[in-house]
Amino acid sequence: MISFALLAPFALPTGIGTFLPFLLIIVVFYFLLIRPQQKRQQKWQQMLGNLKTGDRITTTGGIRGTILAIKDDSIQLRVPPDNLRIEVVKTAIASVTQDETK
């Protein structure tokens, strides 16, 4: 029979041993979930800051159009085929699209 006294030198200290799995889970969550989301958010904010008139964009609702005017929190778009003029908020922009004619 193995005595618990023989295993004592291999045991972690009580304070660190208790919190080590919890700290490891926090670190894994940070690198797998939180950090990539922060990078996507920064990239999206940078894209919104670089918008200019004439850019072709796609909204989160799937509307594609060309920017006519930029205001503080909204953008006016020209939407084909009837050249409708609509206004959307900047946060509704999903991406800047490339022209297929290039």
- The DSSP line for 30-76 is IIIIIHHHHHHHHHHHHHHHT--TT-EEEETTS-EEEEEEE-SSEEE
Residue 73 covered by a domain: yes
| Confidence band, pLDDT 50/70/90 cuts, at residue 96 | very high
Q: Are residues 35 and 62 in the same domain?
A: no
Domain of residue 8, residue span: 4-47
Tell me if 102 is assigned to some domain.
no
The strand pair at 93-97 and 84-89 is best described as unpaired
Pick 68 or 14 by higher pLDDT. Answer: 68
Same structural domain, 39 and 19: yes
The predicted-structure confidence for 32-72, as pLDDT tens digits, reads as follows: 999 999 999 999 999 999 999 999 999 999 999 999 999 98
Q: What is the CATH number of the domain that holds 82?
A: 2.30.30
The reported pLDDT for the residue numbered 21 is: 85
Domain co-membership, 8 together with 40: yes
pLDDT over 90, % of the chain: 71
- Total domain count, the chain: 2
**Mean pLDDT throughout 8-36?**
81
Answer yes or no: is 57 within a domain.
Answer: yes
pLDDT score recorded for residue 4 = 54
Do residue 74 and residue 41 come from a single domain?
A: no
